Every structure is written in C-alpha cells, then in structure tokens.
Amino acid sequence: MRIAVNVGCGFITGVECKNHKSISFPSIIVPTADEPNMGYGVSKYQVNIEGSSYYIGEKGLSKGGSRGWETTERRFEYVRCFIATAVHQLVDVDEPIELILGLPKHLFKAMHESVQEILQGTKIGIQINDEEKLLNIRTVVVYPETIGMYYATLYDSKGNITARSLFNKPIGIIQIGYQGVDLLYMKKDSVGLTPLTTMSPNNYGMKESYRFIQTQLKSMSHGEPDLIEIEKAVVLYNGELDFKGKTYDLLELQNQGEIELASQIANWVDDTWGNEIGDLEDIFIIGEQSTTYYLKIKEKISNLQLINHTQTPQVLGLLAAHVLVIEMYKDLVSNK
C-alpha cells in the first residue's frame, strides 16, 4: 500500500494511492498525562503511541496546543506522531506500507535522512481513540514539499500528464501556509526549466488573519486574546469567541483579515517576481486555504488558477513525483 503524507507547519495532509482516501488536520500536538478526556466534544485525535499519549489535530487545538513544535528538541518525536496519525487514518488493511513523505525546506535539510533511517522497516503500534493498529512501514522516501507543489499542477497521482499544454512551460506556484508563503517559479532557460524558490517573511502566513482579529478585538475589548484561542473559535466554534465576559462573532473580522492578507500577499508576489511575472504561462495557488484566498488574490493577479484537488494537492504531487522517479530508475536499469 502506497501512502503519501506531507508534514506542513500548518496542516498535515495525507492520501492513500489506490482509492485516494485523504486526510487533513492541523499540525498541533500536546503531550498529555492520563487526564480524563473531558470537554469540547472533539475526538480528532487522542493518540497513544507505544506508551506515550498525545492530543493531535483539532483535539490538540481544543486543549490549547500551538504550532511551535518544529523549533523544539522534540520535533522528530512530534513529526513521527503526525505521520503515524495520518497513516493510521488512511490504512484499512494490514499490509506493508510504502511511505512517501514531504517536509518543509528547513525540516527537510535538518532531518530527512534520520526520518527515513528510523522509520523504514519499522512497525509502529498506535491507538487513536479506541482503534488500535500496527503500522508496518516497509519503505520510506522523503522529498522536499516543493516537489509536490510542482507535480500537482501537471500530473495525476499515477504520473500521467493532466496539463499537457503547460509541460515544459514557465509557471509560477503560490502556496499559502500557516507561517508564511512559498513561491515556486519554474524559469525557462537554455537547459530547460530551473526551479526558483522563495520563502516569504513570517508575516504573510494564514496566522496573520488571526492576528488581524486579535488587533481588532484589542481595540474593542481592551484585552488581547491569544492567537490560539482565536483559531480555536474560528475552527471549532463557528467563529464564536467568549472573551472578558462577552461573546464575539469573529466571522466578519475573519473575512476582513483574509482580504487584508490577500492584498499583502499579492503585492509581495508582484514585488518578488517583478517584470518576470509576465513571462509565466500560468500562476497557480495551492494549500489548505487556497480556496479562501483564490478570488481575493485573483483581483490583483488576473492569471491566477486554482488547482482542483485543493485539499491534498501536495501529497498527490508527491505521489506523482515518486512514480516518475521509479519509472526513471527502471529506464536507467534497463538501458545498462
């Protein structure tokens, strides 16, 4: 069974190759002792892995967790937990797993070799809520997540070209993440296409729409709720935030924050790519919140396109890239 998982700093996404069963959850984790599972009514996910217990995803959010894990000493432990949680939710049968992973650039540089070495050939016992499984991970291949960005625009998960008109053409890709924005510019030159990647400052990520709400609430209530409490209200409670004895409806503020952020992102993309933006055949937007920001950014970048499989574009792109790598290897072996 082939499964792809992308470990993003904002969300974990995964897809199973055969039936395209997919999963997505916030990359939030809270280690926990044996406290009762009380409050909030959120079940995704209470996780036990080989004797250690965690709240992950929306459950972690409901328990006040944050996304600062990637800078902590426990980040490898947490990445392993995220991967195991996603795989647990995607496997239905007990069979060996061929695992394809995507990691953000900074995590790929820091840990891709150790992730592959430690996970490959292992069996992980994991229980989520009341369902226990033994994950038999036979092989592991790790890619930088930007590979998934590109291949998601041109190929399906089996490596078939779905956008032939864009093959070998210069394109741009905008990925909006929780912390920031990643740009991929496929520049056409004498040797073909050269990928140029750019990471935005941290003040261009989705969290800035929550920061906008925080600023507005500060002027309205003379207080400053935590960003995680604002996200909790938006994600879990339909925009209702109880703060300083009042209930605030955040949905309109959220929309205003998204409009403001979309404008900032569009301006930054224009400044970054400059006149070369006119050389691009098309510009695509991907990411967990791509549908939220697509029309808002398109007002300033007219040739912006939305990738159809918006929920799991990078993991489908990772599957495509891996299939093509396998085919290339087979061709090299057969031609020896």
pLDDT in tens, 223-247: 899 988 999 999 899 999 999 889 9
% of the chain beyond a pLDDT of 90: 51
Mean pLDDT of all residues belonging to the chain:
87
Contact between 144 and 108 (Cβ < 8 Å): yes
- Tell me the sheet residues that pair with 123: 136
The one-character DSSP state at 161 is B
Each domain of the chain, given as residue ranges in start order, spans: 2-146
Give the CB-side neighbour count of residue 197, counting CA atoms within 13 A. Answer: 13
Give this prediction's pTM: 0.89
Residues 140-155, mean pLDDT to the nearest whole number:
90
| Both tokens assigned to 160 | 């078939």
What is the rounded average pLDDT of the residues 194-205? 85
For residue 311, what pLDDT is reported? Answer: 60
Residue 83 has what pLDDT?
96
306 — alpha (psi -120 to 50), left (phi > 0) or beta? beta
Q: pLDDT (tens digit, 9 = 90+) per residue, 3-38?
A: 999 998 889 999 998 888 999 999 999 988 645 454
Q: What is the pLDDT of residues 92-112, one digit of tens each?
A: 878 899 999 999 888 899 899
The tally of CA atoms less than 13 A away on the side-chain side of residue 285 is: 24
**Per-residue model confidence as pLDDT tens digits over 119-132:** 999 999 999 988 99
List all residues 6 or more positions away from 227 whose beta carbon is below 8 Å from its beta carbon.
Answer: 207, 210, 211, 214
CA 132, 138, 140, 141 dihedral sign is negative
**CATH homologous superfamily for the domain 2-146:** ATPase, nucleotide binding domain (3.30.420.40)
